[in-house]
Amino acid sequence: MATTTKSAMSFQAEGLAKKKQLKLYEDLLRPRMIEEKMLILLRQGRISKWFSGIGQEAISVGATNALLDDEFIFTMHRNLGVFTTRRLPLTRLFAQWQGKLSGYTNGRDRSFHFGAPEHHIVGMISHLGPQLALAGGVGLAHKLAGEGRVALAFTGEGGTSEGDFHEALNTAAVWQLPVIFIIENNGYGLSTPTSEQYRCETLADRAIGYGMRSEIIDGNNVVEVYNTIHRLAGEMRQNPEPVLVECRTFRMRGHEEASGTKYVPQEYFDEWSKRDPLDNFEQYLLAEKVLSSRKIKSLRDKIKKEIEAGLEEAYAEDAIVPNLAKEMGDIYAAADAEDVAPGTDTQEMRFVDAVSDGLREGMRKHDRLVLMGQDIAEYGGVFKITDGFVKEFGKERVRNTPLCESAIVGAGLGLSIKGWKAMMEMQFADFVSCGFNQIVNNLAKLHYRWGQRADVVIRMPAGGGVGAGPFHSQTNEAWFFHTPGLKIVYPSSPEDAKGLLLASLADPNPVLFFEHKALYRSNSAEVPTGYYTTPIGKAQLVEEGDEASIITYGMGVHWAKKVTEELGISADILDLRSLLPLDYEAIETTVRKTSRVLILHEATMIGGVGGELSAHISEHLFEYLDAPVMRVASLDTPVPFAKSLEAQFLPHIRLRESLEKLVSY
């Protein structure tokens, strides 16, 4: 209970109304009391894991109080004070931590890994750093709409060592996005002290390299945090720009409760416990007669009751009874647009022009669609697909990006959180590896985790046969095929390229859109003019025959047509067009019809899409088969550079022999 000793810290609270000071106090007290309760429950074995923010509450509480209610906050694992300050119902919070249905993720994710859109909070994924670029995307949406709002993102000092920190801050600086990046420098990243985490004198110094402002403040002083963020946010709402704020604080407990604190010298605890954010502010308010012992008691009683009521309700809720249809049904967001059939007017277009035409129609249709990619603005992209777009749509919506795939995928997700659509052009599909984490862990899982759309299309110029070697030739769809939550589209014709691209842009889910580079300028056809969509997830029988079925996509469709014609074999050629979701019905129909199947793809064999298709056919259609399911794919080597080596690598030289073997089996 409070005594009126002098606070060890000084608070510049003169400019704050007493009511505000009391609110800051109550907002500090609530997470502290919840945590104290959690530690008891942990000892009783009633919860399994706890990441403590005790000692760091002033950062969450001061920053949240300084923002407007509709400004987004991107939280980490020690930001309970953000959730409590925004007054999320405690019952739901507790239900979330217990994995109950009424929690924020329907039992699908743990601890603070969730978003609460109605409270403008977006929680982390475990990988820490990726969070920062999302705030940039929200900042971009604010800036484009002239909303006069800021976004705020937290990171620990450990997270600042990740490449994602650099990419997010650099992009926010180049684009002058209104984002407050807060580093909670609490001395340790798990067991790693700051001396083993970074070499610069202060983390705030890094801002100089990005060309942005920075400040270092006392993270244990709630008034200092509040005043700083309040001032900065006020300035940034008028003049958008990013700012880096390093909050000095200390982690008073273990990384998580089970991991202990043996590696932390006792004198640090002794020193920092004198600087406790709650105790010190309490002493100050008591000395200033803003607070009384009676008021403290009544606040404590009130919060205790809130916690107990919340816990009782959460514990009373039954454990989840799994509902398979619901789990599978929540992987994707439901489409909100009907497919649009093409008109009758057509025009001859090369594949590359059809992609460009689709993108232009998409930009006209969706006025909140933003295109991002390296060199896509005035230069028109390395394949000239966005040539002339800046003139029609302006540089705000056709954005050159710095060279950073992860931050741009993340920015796309941030735009989506604000209700915008984003298309990112990977300069070459090979470079997607640098944005891999954002795609497979953030975009793909978001809707399943907490119902948030990831309305982002990533265009992937892919494929070999162009003498470009291992890093400009891959068709890497299999890297993503294994990831629930993504859609993968791979057109083989100009008409489909346009229609499927427009369907992808209309779709609220993350879509990886593969375009074979070798088709760009070698393949032309009549393409419907104007806006139309080709449904995702529907294969197309492009040739009909009865001796065999060739199931393929992308360049494979062209190889299949050529070889069947050369050999005079009558085959069904099924162009899958979409790999996720797959059109199992069309696959099964052709297999039942011909009883002989060859699966063809340009990607390497092992772990490729063909393996999955082959397994499905063997498992479900075994009795229809007159021959083993055959696969033809690229060699399991990197894509070689020399013409002769690449010719050997690619699958079509093996196609003829395999097809003959299949039909004569």
Please give the positions annotated as active site: 472
Nearest-approach distance from CB 49 to ligand TPP, in angstroms: 12
Only one of the segments 19-27, 122-130, 389-397, 402-410 lies at the binding site for ligand TPP (rule: CB under 6 A); that segment is 122-130
The nearer residue to ligand TPP, 189 or 640, going by C-beta atoms, is 189
**Contacting ligand TPP within 150-169 (CB under 6 A):** 156-159
Among 533, 528, 581, smallest CA distance to 337 is for: 533
Cβ atoms within 10 Å, residue 416: 24
Residue 435 touching ligand TPP (CB under 6 A): no
- Total residues in contact with ligand TPP, by rule CB under 6 A: 14
**Contacting ligand TPP within 233-272 (CB under 6 A):** 251, 255
Taking CB under 6 A as the criterion, the residue among 4, 5, 126, 273 binding ligand TPP is: 126
d(CA 200, CA 178): 25
In this chain, which residue has its C-beta nearest to ligand TPP? Answer: 156
Nearest-approach distance from CB 152 to ligand TPP, in angstroms: 16
Strands (E), 474-609: 487-489, 511-516, 524-528, 540-543, 548-552, 571-575, 578-580, 597-604
Four-point Cα dihedral 193, 198, 199, 205, nearest 10: -120
Residue 186 touching ligand TPP (CB under 6 A): yes
Residue 92 touching ligand TPP (CB under 6 A): no
One-letter amino acid at 544 equals E
d(CA 276, CA 390): 53
Residue 596 touching ligand TPP (CB under 6 A): no
Only one of the segments 87-95, 182-190, 382-390, 618-626 lies at the binding site for ligand TPP (rule: CB under 6 A); that segment is 182-190
Structure tokens at 281: 């502010």
d(CA 497, CA 352): 9
Phi and psi at 575, nearest 5°, equal -90, 110
Q: Strand pairing of 524-528 and 548-552? A: unpaired
Using H for helix, E for strand and C for coil, what is the string for 248-307? ECCCCCCCCHHHCCCCCCHHHHHHHHCCCHHHHHHHHHHHCCCCCHHHHHHHHHHHHHHH
Residue 128 touching ligand TPP (CB under 6 A): yes
**Contacting ligand TPP within 60-79 (CB under 6 A):** 78
Among 555, 560, 618, smallest CA distance to 587 is for: 618
Q: Strand pairing of 630-634 and 597-604? A: parallel
d(CA 98, CA 47): 7
In three-state secondary structure terms, 215 is strand
The nearer residue to ligand TPP, 20 or 127, going by C-beta atoms, is 127
In three-state secondary structure terms, 624 is helix
Let me know if 519 is exposed, middle or buried by CB neighbors in 10 A (0-12, 13-18, 19+). Answer: buried
Nearest-approach distance from CB 453 to ligand TPP, in angstroms: 25
Nearest-approach distance from CB 248 to ligand TPP, in angstroms: 13
The nearer residue to ligand TPP, 249 or 594, going by C-beta atoms, is 249
Residue 453 touching ligand TPP (CB under 6 A): no
Taking CB under 6 A as the criterion, the residue among 127, 295, 360, 616 binding ligand TPP is: 127
Residues that bind ligand TPP (CB under 6 A): 78, 126-128, 156-159, 186, 188-190, 251, 255
